[in-house]
Every structure is written in structure tokens, then in C-alpha cells.
Amino acid sequence: MIKQWIEKQKIKSKMHKCFRHCKMYHEKKQGDKKIRIYPQITNIRPLEDRLEVVFILQTGLSTEAIDETIFKQVFGKNIEIKHDKIKKCVLNVYKNEIPKKVNYDFHLIKNHVAKMQLPFICGLDIHGELIIIDLATEAHLLLSAETGGGKSSLLRANITFLIELNGNYELYLTDLKRSEFGMFRNCSNVKGVYITTSDILPTLKKIEKEMKYRGDLLDQHEVNSIDELDIKLKRILVVIDEVALLRKEKEIMSIVEDISSIGRSLGVHLVLSMQRPDSKILESGNLKNNLRVRISGRQSNSMNAKVAGVEGAENIGMNQRGRMLIKLDDIQEFQGFYLDSAEAKKILKNYKVKGQVHVEPEQQLGVKQENILGVLDE
Ligand SMILES: Nc1ncnc2c1ncn2[C@@H]1O[C@H](COP(=O)(O)OP(=O)(O)OP(=O)(O)O)[C@@H](O)[C@H]1O
Ligand SMILES: [Mg+2]
């Protein structure tokens, strides 16, 4: 009992240290002395996988004062702080660490996506849980990180996964650095790999036409989404690695922005990656708001993390390759699935479509108005 009491006092004193550094206290005069009144710690509970500390902010203190960096310095990196909008806060100090590497494993991941139409696989979080989102509901995603942060690797794992999964979707892959997506050429589900702006523009124009066609179809059937149609249209996923290289391409960027604003109900989705979060691209127009899901690997500073929309990404270590934060409603940390190029190529050999040596972009989408994309079957 005494041991437990001492432990709790130690934790309390650590909490007070954090409160002091975050300036989370009120000062009150007592005689000629000033005393500090800290938030009330209402519960300290050692659990199997973590320590839980509950504290209540007194009136006048805001949850904005909670500086996670300070709590990390005091309690170690594996913490999480949750709070309601007003007062109650919970600090979790985890015993586990997020693994340094999580190898891509199709069969393991597959069991978790049964109900998803267009999964985007992220990685493992601190609880060892898989983080996977469904783009059919989340619509579009922005992935950013400084060079070496693991963007292309995560895209590689994702595209390979979608090819292996072979669902009802088509992939349009743009790789202006010409270094990453070549291996996906002629794979099933992959409708095109584009390496120049003149390659991608005609395809995007056809996707735009397809969106118009699908929009009309929804109107005719008086429904709000392709999910409500009897005919099962294929979801279309446009992946652009290094979208910042397109920033001067007005026509392309305008279609990309259109997809970001109306694509969701039409089943047209974007995954964009970006090295340095480019405020010109992201903050002009609606692109950033429309890319609801943001994933970020390490950012070189807090300003870039802010532009990327994932504050805290500047705290990811230089050597933590593939360590990322995802922002949905709140921010979660994970270690990204890793699949190296050689391994990916081995897997993809099994998915090459015979005879599909090179397909011109114009032929990929089907040009007849009544037969564009969605109603086209392979
Ligand atoms: N999830 C991961 N787990 C372990 N190592 C990783 C992971 N992701 C990336 N790496 C390592 O980091 C290296 C760089 O990753 P990657 O090429 O994906 O970064 P990038 O963000 O695309 O960089 P750039 O902006 O320069 O293109 C990889 O070659 C690999 O060695
Ligand atoms: Mg890259």
C-alpha cells in the first residue's frame, strides 16, 4: 500500500511539473506568499498496458494550454492526451512502443477490410491496432512528409494492396518524378501510369467527363451517391505522387480541385502526396479543406506541419522512417506498412495483365459518351 502511495505521489509531482511548464495554474495570495493552484488530479490508475491519469481543468484554464511536448519530456514519448472540449482531461502513458518497422502483409491486412470499398492502409498504432480508412467514406487524402519521410513507400504498399485485393475500382497513377510507379504498369486494376503533364491531362479530362456523366445519372435516379444506384459503378482512384510539381498546371489543378469538391458522391477519389506542404497549392482554393484526411510523416518545422494540417509532425524523429500521424477527427500516430520495391515487384508479377503492353491514355477510359468509365467493364 505504501509503495502504491509513493508511486502516486511521484506521478502527482510529475503532473505538477507539467502543469507548471504549461502554465496551467492559477495563483492565489496566501498571507504574503503566492501559491499555485493546479488542475485537480481526480484519478491515477495503473492499467495493464498503460497508466491513466485523469485531471480536471479549473474555470479559466483552457485545454489549449496543454503542451504535449512538455508532457512527453516528463512522461516519455508514448503518451496520449484526450480531453473533452471543456474540462476533463485524460493522460495515458503507454508501456508499449510503436514498432519501428511494420512489414506489409496482405493476408493479415485483408481480414480487416472486408466491409470497405476503397481501403487506404496506414499502419500500426501504439495499441498494435491496424489503422485503415475507407476512401469511399473519407473521400480524399493528403500525404505529406519531408524527403525520406516514407510517402512513396506508403503509396507503394497501398497500390500493391489494392491490386492484390482486386476490388471494384480503377487506379490512375501519376508519378512525375518517374521513380516510383513504373512497377505498376500493366497490372490489373491499374488503368494508367502517367509520368508527364501531357500524359495525365487527357485522362483527367475524361475523368471530368465521367464525373459529369455520373452526376447526370444520380440526377436521373434522384439519388445522392453512386452507392444508391442499382448498377455498381467502379470507384476511380487518382494517385499523384508529388502533386506540387503540378502547381503551375492550371488546367490540371482545376480538375483536381473539382474532383476534391464533388468526387466523393460520384466515386472519384484523390490521394495526393507532397514533399514540402505547399501553401500556394493547398491554401488557394478549397483543396486543403476538401482533402479531409491528412497524413504526415516528419516535417522539418512546425510551420510546415501546420500547412500540412497535422500539427505535431515536426516532433517525429529524423530517423523514424515511416512514422506518421493521421488526422481525422483527432490525431493518431502510427508506423506505416513497409514494402520495399524488390518485394513489391515480386508480388506484382502475378498481377500483370497479359497483352496489355502499353495502353494510350485515350484508350483507357473508353471514349463513347454512353460508355465512359463507370459503365465500362474490363
Ligand atoms: N514504413 C517504413 N518503415 C521503414 N522504413 C521506411 C518506411 N518508409 C520509408 N522507409 C525508409 O525510408 C526511405 C525513404 O522512403 P520514401 O522514399 O518512401 O520517402 P519519400 O517521403 O517518398 O521521400 P521523397 O520525398 O524524397 O520522395 C525508404 O527507402 C526506406 O528505407
Ligand atoms: Mg517519394
Q: Are residues 129 and 267 in the same domain?
A: yes
pLDDT tens, 223-242? 999 999 999 999 999 999 99
Atom of ligand 1 nearest to the CA of 150: 18
State the average pLDDT over residues 289-305. 94
Q: List, in order, residues 6 or more apart from 222 with CB less than 8 Å away.
A: none
What is the total count of domains within the chain?
2
Whether 327 lines ligand 1, by a CB cut-off of 6 Å, is no
Question: Is a pLDDT exceeding 90 seen at residue 178?
Answer: no
Looking at every residue in the chain, the average pLDDT score rounds to 90
User: Quick check: CB of 273 below 6 Å from ligand 1?
Assistant: no
Q: What spacing in Å lies between the alpha carbon of 146 and ligand 2's midpoint?
A: 9
CA–centroid distance, residue 157 to ligand 2 (Å): 13
Give the list of residues 6+ apart from residue 297 with CB closer than 8 angstroms, or none: 144, 145, 146, 149, 150, 151, 313, 316, 322, 323, 324, 336
pLDDT at 49 over 50: yes
Asked if residue 158 and residue 119 are part of one domain, the reply reads yes
Decide which of 32, 64, 94 is a domain's last residue: 94
Last residue of a domain, one of 62, 94, 126: 94
Q: Output the pTM of the full model.
A: 0.78
Query: Which region, left, alpha or beta, applies to residue 69 given φ > 0 means left and ψ of -120 to 50 means alpha?
Result: alpha
Distance CA 244, CA 252 (A): 12
Q: Is the pLDDT of residue 143 over 60?
A: yes
Does residue 368 sit in helix, strand or coil?
coil
**pLDDT tops 50 at residue 374:** no
DSSP state of 150: S
Same domain flag for 221 and 296: yes
DSSP code, position 314:
G
Residues 299 and 359 in one domain: yes
Measured from the CB, is residue 145 less than 6 Å from ligand 1? yes
Tell whether ligand 1 has an atom less than 6 A from the beta carbon of residue 148. yes
C-alpha cell at 360: 494510350
Q: Pick the more confident residue, 204 or 97.
A: 204
How much of the chain, in percent, has pLDDT values that exceed 70? 93
Laid out side by side, the sheet with 40-46 consists of 40-46, 50-56, 88-94, 79-83
Residue 285 binned pLDDT confidence (cut-offs 50, 70, 90): low
Q: What is the pLDDT of residue 368?
A: 38
Last residue of a domain, one of 76, 94, 112: 94
Based on the domain organization, do 28 and 119 belong to the same domain? no
Residue 338 CA: nearest ligand 1 atom is: 1
User: Which structural domain, as residue segments, surrounds residue 50?
Assistant: 2-94
Range from 22-26, 51-55, 279-283 carrying the lowest mean pLDDT: 279-283
- Residue 369 pLDDT > 80, yes or no? no
pLDDT digits (tens, 9 = 90+) for 104-116: 999 999 999 999 9
Task: Please check whether residues 282 and 307 belong to one and the same domain.
Answer: yes
* Whether 152 and 185 share a structural domain: yes
Phi, psi dihedral angles at 223 (to 5 degrees): -130, 165
Q: What is the pLDDT of residues 322-345, one digit of tens each?
A: 999 999 988 999 999 999 999 999
Report which protein residue has its CA nearest ligand 1's atom 16.
150
| 62 plus 182 within the same structural domain | no
> Residue 176: which CATH number?
3.40.50.300
**Same structural domain, 230 and 294:** yes
Q: Which of 83-97, 109-123, 135-149 has the lowest mean pLDDT?
A: 83-97
Distance from Cα 20 to the centre of ligand 2, integer Å: 42
For ligand 2, the distance from its centroid to the CA atom of residue 150, given in whole angstroms, is 7
Residue 282 has pLDDT above 80, yes or no: no
Residues 334, 250: one domain? yes
**Residue whose CA lies nearest to ligand 1 atom number 26:** 147
From 321, 326, 338, 341, mutation site for ligand 1 pocket: most ligand atoms within 8 A of C-beta: 321
232 pocket-lining for ligand 1 (C-beta < 6 Å):
no
Which residue's alpha carbon is nearest to atom 9 within ligand 1?
Answer: 150
62 and 114 share one domain? no
Look at residue 55 and tell me whether its pLDDT is greater than 50: yes
Q: Span 141-145, mean pLDDT?
A: 96
Are 56 and 128 in a shared domain?
no
